[in-house]
Amino acid sequence: MKKNILGLIASVKKATGVNAALFSPSGEKESDADFLATCTVPPRGNEIVQPDDAPYTFFRVRDGYIVALDGTGETYRNYAVLFRAAIEAGSVATPPLTLADRMRAYLTDELDEEGKSELATHFHDPFDCYVLTLVADSPKGVAQLQNYLDAMREQGDWVVPYGETAVAFIKSCGGDDDYRSANDFANTLYDSIMEELRVKIVINVGGTVHSFGELKTVFHRCLFAYNFGKLMAPNAPIYSYKEYVMIKMLSEIPDESLASYLGAILDRDGRQILDDPELMETAEQFLKNSLNISETSRSMYMHRNTLIYRLDKIENATGLNLRHFNDAVVFHLLTMLKKLTDKRPQ
């Protein structure tokens, strides 16, 4: 109710220039209007009050809230009548938010404190869930995606649309869970969607929450993963917060230091490697396949000897043998540093 009244106050001021303030039933200020700091509580009922000692007009509305107008006289009495009618009509016409609507508003920081408290009370039981967001390539695509998720969801799962092409999927997990992690579930879900739907999507993994209080934080991690994932690997189907949190740390390094670190590790030949799309694609696939030559050559439809030749070429230019774990980690950091420096304004 309060939110509706505040919205009407803002609309009326924009249309008429009339200042109004909202007060609680006990006279405590609920809005930001600064023309009146305190409220003399008028009688209950429909009476419009214009005190002799103050140039204001007071009246009560639904649920006992009090509205004060910055003016007095017959004109402001008429404003009060019209204002109250608009508030009453607005409050009747506005349906209550469903639980799913309140969940969406909560995740996107649009829910008021009262609504947050109600949600926290509703979800007071253990809340172990994987938190993912799925972004489709079009509004039509996200509609198909939502229908698919609604059909497959089980008790304790939530499908929460937000924006025109995105939906949050909050998947309940527990002791009998078949998945090892949120990332494992995301990979299974992606494969399933690709088999059933002709929709281009990206899945973003925020992680696992163990209480409702963690939900919004992990949801925002999904948004972070999407933004950084698009920057670092535009064509990847799945982005994970855990994978990109190190990039966030690197992104906070000043430009001069970032370029200095990159220059200290790479010489000219090494830079040429990082600028070679063919070699970089080979390196990324090799890292993605856990440094496994056979898996990489199979996934890239590449002869084993060709792959080895390219890995040797990278080693000769950078001094990093990607077959060794430590060198592979350094090379991965190098590629992130390079992408960050390339994306920053020159």
Q: What is the pLDDT along the chain (346 residues), one digit of tens a residue?
A: 677 778 777 777 776 678 888 888 877 888 877 777 777 767 666 788 888 888 888 888 877 888 888 888 888 888 888 887 877 776 544 455 678 888 888 998 888 888 888 888 888 777 889 999 999 988 888 999 999 999 988 888 999 998 889 999 999 987 667 788 899 999 999 999 999 998 899 999 999 999 888 999 999 999 999 988 887 778 889 999 988 777 777 777 777 777 777 777 766 667 788 888 898 889 888 988 889 999 999 989 999 999 999 999 998 888 889 999 988 888 888 887 777 777 655 5
Q: What is the pLDDT at residue 94? A: 47
User: Using CA of residue 131, residue 231, residue 161, residue 95, what is the dihedral sign?
Assistant: positive
**Residue 72 near residue 57 (C-beta atoms within 8 A):** yes
Element (H, E) at 57: strand 57-60
* CA 104 to each of CA 99, 162, 219: distance values in angstroms, whole numbers, following the listed order: 9, 7, 11
* Tokens, residue 324: 């060794």
Which long-range CB contacts under 8 A does 14-21 form with residues at least 24 apart?
16/79, 18/69, 18/70, 18/71, 18/76, 18/79, 19/69, 19/70, 19/71, 20/67, 20/68, 20/69, 20/70, 20/83, 21/67, 21/68, 21/70
Alpha helices in the chain (DSSP H): 2-16, 74-93, 99-107, 113-122, 139-152, 182-196, 215-232, 241-251, 255-265, 268-274, 277-288, 293-299, 304-318, 325-343
208 CB neighbour count, 10 Å cutoff: 19
**Residue 163 near residue 138 (C-beta atoms within 8 A):** no
Measured torsion, CA atoms of residues 186, 136, 284, 240, in degrees rounded to the nearest 10 = -40
* Tokens, residue 285: 């696939």
Q: Is residue 220 exposed (0-12), middle (13-18) or buried (19+ Cβ within 10 Å)? A: middle
User: Using CA of residue 304, residue 310, residue 316, residue 318, what is the dihedral sign?
Assistant: negative
Q: What is the pLDDT at residue 15? A: 67
Q: What is the CA radius of gyration of the chain?
A: 29
Q: What is the pLDDT at residue 93? A: 46
- Closest Cα to residue 323, out of 284, 287, 291, 290? 291
Kindly write down the DSSP assignment for every residue of 154-211, as one continuous string.
-TT-EEEEETTTEEEEEEE--TT-S-SSHHHHHHHHHHHHHHH----EEEEEEEEESS
Q: Which string of b and e fits 113-149 if b means at least 16 CB within 10 Å?
A: eebeebbeeeeeeebebbbbbbbbeeeebbebbbebb
Q: What is the pLDDT at residue 92? A: 45
CA pair distance 31, 15, nearest whole angstrom: 18
Q: Which string of b and e fits 273-294 if b means at least 16 CB within 10 Å?
A: bbebeebeebbbbbbebebeee
Q: What are phi and psi of 133, to 5 degrees?
A: -125, 145
Q: What is the pLDDT at residue 202? A: 95
Q: What is the pLDDT at residue 190? A: 94
